[in-house]
Amino acid sequence: MPEQGRCTVVVGCQWGDEGKGKIVDVLAENVDVVARYQGGANAGHTVTVTDDEFILHQIPSGILHDGKRCLLGNGVVLDIQRFFEEYDALRARGIELEGRVGVSLRAHLLLPHHRVLDQMAEDSAAEKIGTTGRGIGPAYEDKAGRRGVRVADLGNPERLAKRVAEALEHTRRRLEHVRRAPPPDLQAATAAALSLGERLLGLATDTGPEITRALQDGRRVLLEGAQGTALDLDHGTYPFVTSSNTTAAAAATGVGVGPTAIDAVVGVVKAYTTRVGEGPLPTALEPVMDEKLRRLGGEFGATTGRPRRCGWFDSVLTRFAAQVNGLTGVAVTKLDVLDTLPELQVATAYRLPDGSVTESFPADTWALSKLEPVYECMPGWEEPTSGVRRLEDLPKRARAYLDRIEELTAAPVEWVSVGTQRSQIIPIG
Distance of CA 327 to the CA centre of its chain: 16
Residue 213: CB atoms within 10 A of its CB come to 11
- Tell me the closest approach of the beta carbon of residue 321 to ligand IMP, in angstroms: 15
Residue number, nearest CB to ligand IMP: 277
Q: Helix H segments across 242-302? A: 249-255, 287-297
Q: Return the residue of 27, 56, 129, 388 that touches ligand IMP, per CB under 6 A.
A: 129
Q: Which residues contact 298 (CB under 8 A, 6 or more apart)?
A: none
Q: Are 316 and 360 in contact (CB under 8 A)?
A: yes
Residue from the set 17, 32, 224, 299 that interacts with ligand IMP by CB under 6 A: 17
Q: Which of residues 240-259 bind ligand IMP (CB under 6 A)?
A: 240, 242-243
> Is the CB of 12 or the CB of 419 nearer to ligand IMP?
12
- Does the footprint of ligand IMP cover residue 277 (CB under 6 A)? yes
Question: Is there binding between residue 190 and ligand IMP (CB under 6 A)?
Answer: no
Tell me how crowded residue 43 is: count the other CB atoms within 10 A of its CB. Answer: 30
Kindly identify the residues of this chain, within the stretch 30-49, that bind ligand IMP according to CB under 6 A. Answer: 42-44
Cα–Cα distance, 72 to 88 (Å, whole number): 16
Cβ distance to ligand IMP smaller for residue 131 or 409: 131
Output the DSSP codes for 330-392: EEEE-GGGGTT-SEEEEEEEEE-TTS-EE-SPPS-HHHHTT-EEEEEEEE---S--TT--SGG
217 carries an active-site annotation: no
Q: Write down the catalytic residue from 25, 32, 45, 336.
A: 45
Cβ-based nearer residue to ligand IMP, 122 or 339: 122
Exposure string over 125-144, b if 16+ CB within 10 A, otherwise e: eeeebebbebbbbbbbbbbe
Residues 42-101 that bind ligand IMP (CB under 6 A): 42-44
Q: How far is the CB of 236 from ligand IMP (least distance, A)?
A: 9
Between residues 45 and 220, which has the closer beta carbon with respect to ligand IMP? 45
Q: Is the peptide bond before 239 cis (omega within 30 degrees of 0)?
A: yes
From candidates 132, 212, 318, 409, binder to ligand IMP by CB under 6 A: 132
Residues 208-237 that bind ligand IMP (CB under 6 A): 226-227, 231
| Of 140 and 350, CB closest to ligand IMP | 140
From 17, 32, 290, 336, active-site residue? 17
Nearest CB to ligand IMP, comparing residues 18 and 153: 18
Angle at 283 between CA 280 and CA 285, to 5 degrees: 105
In the list 5, 16, 102, 419, the residue contacting ligand IMP (rule: CB under 6 A) is 16
| In the complex, minimum distance from the CB of residue 378 to ligand IMP, in angstroms, rounded to a whole number | 26
45 as an active site residue: the answer is: yes
Point out which span in 9-17, 158-166, 336-344, 361-369 binds ligand IMP (CB under 6 A).
9-17
Number of chain residues interacting with ligand IMP (CB under 6 A) = 21
Check binding of 130 to ligand IMP (CB under 6 A): yes
Query: Torsion angle, CA of 60/64/66/72, rounded to 10 degrees?
Result: 10
Task: Give backbone dihedrals phi and psi of 413, rounded to 5 degrees, phi first.
Answer: -75, 125
Alpha helices in 217-352 (DSSP H): 249-255, 287-297, 315-325
CB-based contacts of 395: which residues, under 8 Å, 6+ apart? 381, 383, 385
Residues that are catalytic: 17, 45
- By the criterion CB under 6 A, which residues form the site for ligand IMP? 15-17, 42-44, 129-132, 134, 136-137, 226-227, 231, 240, 242-243, 276-277
